[in-house]
Amino acid sequence: MTSSLRLEPPSAELLDALVSLGFYLRLGFLPTGEELFGERVGRLVL
């Protein structure tokens, strides 16, 4: 039985999320999941 875990290049969405997380961490606080993946973050980062 083979493992279902595959190594794949990160998606654009994941990269955007990591950039957003770094943006929040530089401000000194950790966002909630909703803030990290919501419209608010998209506007802040762009």
Mention every residue, 6+ apart, whose C-beta is less than 8 A from residue 17.
36, 37
What pLDDT, on the 0 to 100 scale, is given for residue 30? Answer: 55
Predicted structure pTM score = 0.33
The model's pLDDT over 1-46, given as tens digits with 9 standing for 90+, comes to: 555 666 677 688 887 887 777 776 666 655 555 655 555 555 554 4
Which value, to the nearest 10 degrees, does the dihedral of the CA atoms of residues 33, 38, 43, 46 take? 70
